[in-house]
Amino acid sequence: MSQSFYLRPIALADSPQSEEGGAVRLAGGLVYASRFALIEREGGKIVARQRYSVAELKVALPDMPNAVRAQWDDLQRSHSALQCGSRTIRLDQPQVAGILNVTPDSMSDGGQFMDNPDLANAHAATMAEAGAALIDVGGESTRPGAAAVWEGDELKRVIPAVERLAAMGIAISIDTRRPAVMEAALAAGAHIINDVSALRHDPRSLEFAARAGVPVILMHAPGEGEDLHGGAAYGDVVLDVFDWLKDRRDAAIVAGIPREKIVLDPGIGFGKSLADNLALINALPMFHAIGQPLMLGASRKRMIGALDNEAGAHQRLGGSVALAMKGLEAGVQLLRVHDVRDTVQAIRVWRGLRDAALTDFSQLPT
């Protein structure tokens, strides 16, 4: 019977001095953890859960399994910046990826940017000026029930948009599952591959991404083929998604993608119930134990409407910012959002609070 271990931060601190040194820095960022739960699972069932302070864990670690010691190191692993042409995206602080959908059936923008390049340009420029480090361009709706898109149509949608953004000097990720679109977008000036199927949709994708040598974002989705939302069956959604992302990370490394170029995304809203999404967001700090930078894409998601009287996509700003703040508190490095200006403002306020806590020496012992 298979045995797995998971080291989950369960108490976060504003600064290490607030815990008199009894807190560790998560993922080289601005978030600190002071207590941890060690979860043991056998055959898909949780069989043990123990809690530790930092001091207790350091004493116990030498006698723990290698997997636990590796997770302890990975929780504290700092991440190299992502190089996007002449632009550098640092991962020691939270960054925003602005969403640019060039589809006719997008959940949030209703296709307004697909056939209006001037409007799309203006929107991308506004997001960049507002503080987006990256613009994520997508030509295929991945909402539940969305119709499949022919590869040729996807190319016609995204390549002109990528070319225009590249001419503006913007860092660009291409949101696609198809290697032909990946290749054409990178040739047009994109810098990052963002694949909601985690390079599973096409068997050529892993090889191409490795050959391209660019950063990749691997997202969890339970479905295969055209239906990313189907086939969801979780024993424990948090632990199952953790294992799945770790396996995809390992497959990417085996294929030749450098570890430092892999970002992971838990896939909020993809084949997950409201309860599943809430559990994953509450558990975000644990995903640092895989040892990769994290992206959170919860902006305007259906879960917000489910919690607020079925509010429509354009009525979900407050919920989107609340989820972004939860990501910040968890140490997530990349926030994929529609409302860039509001999210960047929230980050700046959060950063001010964090800096104040880190320089508050009244918390030091006397």
Active site residues: 301, 336
Q: Which residues pair with 337 in a beta bridge?
A: 98
Euclidean distance between the first and final Cα of the chain, in Å?
A: 51
Whether the CB-CB separation of 88 and 81 falls below 8 Å is answered with yes
Nearest to 333 by CA among 116, 104, 30: 30
How far is it, in rounded angstroms, from Cα 224 to Cα 252?
17
In three-state secondary structure terms, 137 is: strand
**Among 245, 129, 135, 258, which residue's Cα sits nearest to residue 196?**
245
Let me know: does 256 contact 185? Beta carbons within 8 Å. no
CB-based contact 199:218 (threshold 8 Å): yes
Structure tokens at 62: 């030498």
Whether the CB-CB separation of 218 and 249 falls below 8 Å is answered with yes
Cβ contacts of 36 within 8 Å, gap of 6 or more? 7, 8, 9, 10, 51, 52, 54, 57
